[in-house]
């Protein structure tokens, strides 16, 4: 499928009211296309997305900006203005986060959203419960065993640099990239290889958040034993299911 059509369809599904994941201009989506990514333009509404709502960003150019310690808001504005001059619109302010996630993982598609129940936890005193262990087997199959939680950081260049550092430390520690990145007081990123997968991850994260909130209401979360959680992500039949999700089959 043409990347713009793929992204338009993904965005409309992510922004559909039933997903409860993005209102108005909230959230953004991207797809990797060679050395570039197509990402939502600033101000576009996911649920009403059209193929013209996405702009092409050169990944190496954006990474050079993120790596340049001397770069600040003015340099970001210059790069985004250059994209606008080429593409007609500026990229989302969160485009730099997509860039660092493409650099640090083998993602082909990324969906960023602010699901209400996920944000209930991310805005609470207990956001760490989202990454503290396995709740039930399907969570582990769909989201992986090691999601990443990022403290609140000012969106834009500063947040992109923070996520880049935390992502590298996470990969060193766990030997693999996270499937989901949670941002405190903000929202989540689902990192995957196709639209169905990242939509399913977003819905599963929402379900996990509801389960945690419900469990807290009846005495507190009890996580699966760690060896049982590890067993789920390593047993061959569940690895087969994970592979199907990554291929876009259900």
Minimum distance between the CB of residue 187 and Zn ion, rounded to whole angstroms? 5
Q: Which is nearer to Zn ion, 179 or 187 (CB)?
A: 187
Minimum distance between the CB of residue 15 and Zn ion, rounded to whole angstroms? 13
Minimum distance between the CB of residue 186 and Zn ion, rounded to whole angstroms? 6
Minimum distance between the CB of residue 34 and Zn ion, rounded to whole angstroms? 26
CA-wise closest residue to 56 among 24, 92, 25, 22:
92
Q: Which is nearer to Zn ion, 153 or 246 (CB)?
A: 153
Q: Which is nearer to Zn ion, 135 or 157 (CB)?
A: 157
Q: Which is nearer to Zn ion, 24 or 60 (CB)?
A: 24
Q: Which residue is nearest to Zn ion (CB)?
A: 187
Q: Which is nearer to Zn ion, 91 or 134 (CB)?
A: 91
- With beta carbons less than 8 A apart as the criterion, state whether 189 and 110 touch: yes
CA-wise closest residue to 244 among 206, 192, 208:
192
Binding residues for Zn ion (CB under 5 A):
187
Minimum distance between the CB of residue 114 and Zn ion, rounded to whole angstroms? 6
Q: Which is nearer to Zn ion, 119 or 196 (CB)?
A: 119
Minimum distance between the CB of residue 154 and Zn ion, rounded to whole angstroms? 12
């Amino acid at each position: 499928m043409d990347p713009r059509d793929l992204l338009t369809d993904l965005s409309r599904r992510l922004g559909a009211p039933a997903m409860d994941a993005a209102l108005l201009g909230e959230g953004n989506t991207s797809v990797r296309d060679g050395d570039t990514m197509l990402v939502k333009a600033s101000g576009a509404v996911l649920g009403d997305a059209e193929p013209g709502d996405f702009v092409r960003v050169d990944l190496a150019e954006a990474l050079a900006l993120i790596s340049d310690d001397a770069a600040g808001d003015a340099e970001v504005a210059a790069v985004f203005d250059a994209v606008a001059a080429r593409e007609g619109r500026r990229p989302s302010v969160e485009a730099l986060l997509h860039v660092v996630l493409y650099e640090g993982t083998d993602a082909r598609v990324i969906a960023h959203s602010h699901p209400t129940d996920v944000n209930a936890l991310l805005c609470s005193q207990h956001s760490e419960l989202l990454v503290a262990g396995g709740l039930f087997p399907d969570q582990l199959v769909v989201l992986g065993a090691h999601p990443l939680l990022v403290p609140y950081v000012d969106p834009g260049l500063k947040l992109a640099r923070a996520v880049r550092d935390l992502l590298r430390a996470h990969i060193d520690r766990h030997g693999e990239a996270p499937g989901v990145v949670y941002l405190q007081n903000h929202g989540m990123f689902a990192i995957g290889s196709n639209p169905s997968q990242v939509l399913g991850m977003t819905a599963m994260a929402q379900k996990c958040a509801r389960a945690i909130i419900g469990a807290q209401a009846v005495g507190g979360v009890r996580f699966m034993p760690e060896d049982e959680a590890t067993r789920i992500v390593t047993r061959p039949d569940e690895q087969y299911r994970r592979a199907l999700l990554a291929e876009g089959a259900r």
